[in-house]
């Protein structure tokens, strides 16, 4: 759904799937508050009694670290498809890919699958493209130090997440940058070589903005590290 050229998402969609930019959508968008969020139901004693024996639905709570961990696993080809729905979607993707996809250069495989996902409105699977490639045997994902790199990247991300509220005012956005971009940059930082070319973002302008925000994180972390060392030696 669009409004004046902007994509529109509901507060429920944001709660269930996280910010759109984490699924590869980096354009401006609007968020519409759903009725149940805008006017939550006020329970009376009578209503509470009626629902006393109804099993409550499990509440989905957004956790940035958990979502990043899942994205990172897929970027490294360590993810999987366990539900029937995801397996069915994998089969659908396989049927719609070009017959000669096995001969497609690694630098073009990502875009080929991305186009299929976009056409079928499977945008939530953008970050799983490396896992899709691995399951379809389109390239080899082999690395002896995958687990070690995974742990190091997670440690880096936790530090970035920890200082987000400190640095967000100097960023080009009010929300956390694309988790896919952060995952790819941290993999580069730890010299993890991916077997396919994965774009940081869809346009050079978006890449520049994300690079700026990434540098803001690391400049602040280096500053805090230097202050910590200074305090240690002055103690």
Q: In a structure prediction context, what are the per-residue pLDDT tens digits for the chain, which is 235 residues long? A: 555 677 777 766 666 666 676 666 667 777 776 655 555 555 454 545 554 555 555 555 668 999 999 899 888 888 777 777 778 888 888 888 877 777 777 778 888 888 888 888 888 788 888 888 888 877 776 666 888 999 999 999 999 999 998 998 888 777 899 999 999 999 999 998 887 788 888 889 999 999 999 999 999 999 988 887 655 445 5
Mapped onto helix, strand or coil, the DSSP state of residue 122 is: coil
| Residue 144: predicted pLDDT | 67
CA pair distance 231, 216, nearest whole angstrom: 23
> Residue 103 carries which DSSP code?
G
| Strands of the sheet with 6-10, listed across from one edge | 2-3, 6-10, 29-32
- Taking Cα atoms as reference points, which of 193, 191, 195, 160 lies closest to residue 178? 160
Q: Which residue has the tokens 């609007």?
A: 30
CA Rg value for the chain? 21
What local confidence, expressed as pLDDT, does residue 68 receive?
Answer: 93
Residue pointed to by tokens 């089969």? 91
What pLDDT shows up at residue 2?
A: 52
Detail the DSSP E strand segments found in 36-147. Answer: none
């Amino acid at each position: 759904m669009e409004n004046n050229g902007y994509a529109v998402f509901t507060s429920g969609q944001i709660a269930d799937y996280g910010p759109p930019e984490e699924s590869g959508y980096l354009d401006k968008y609007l968020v519409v508050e759903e009725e149940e969020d805008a006017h939550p139901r006020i329970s009376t004693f009578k209503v509470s009694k009626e629902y006393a024996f109804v099993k409550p639905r499990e509440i989905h709570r957004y956790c940035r670290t958990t979502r990043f961990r899942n994205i990172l696993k897929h970027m490294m080809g360590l993810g999987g498809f366990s539900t029937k729905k995801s397996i069915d979607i994998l089969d659908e993707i396989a049927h719609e890919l070009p017959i000669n996809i096995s001969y497609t250069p690694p630098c073009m495989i990502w875009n080929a699958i991305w186009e299929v996902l976009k056409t079928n409105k499977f945008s939530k699977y953008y970050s799983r493209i490396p896992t899709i490639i691995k399951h379809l045997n389109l390239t080899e994902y082999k690395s002896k130090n995958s687990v070690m790199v995974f742990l190091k990247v997670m440690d880096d991300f936790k530090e970035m997440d920890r200082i987000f509220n400190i640095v967000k005012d100097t960023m080009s956005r009010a929300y956390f940058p694309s988790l896919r971009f952060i995952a790819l940059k941290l993999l580069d930082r730890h010299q993890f070589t991916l077997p396919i070319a994965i774009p940081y973002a869809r346009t050079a302008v978006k890449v520049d903005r994300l690079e700026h925000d990434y540098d803001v994180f690391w400049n602040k972390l280096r500053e805090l590290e230097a202050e910590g060392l200074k305090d240690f030696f002055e103690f």
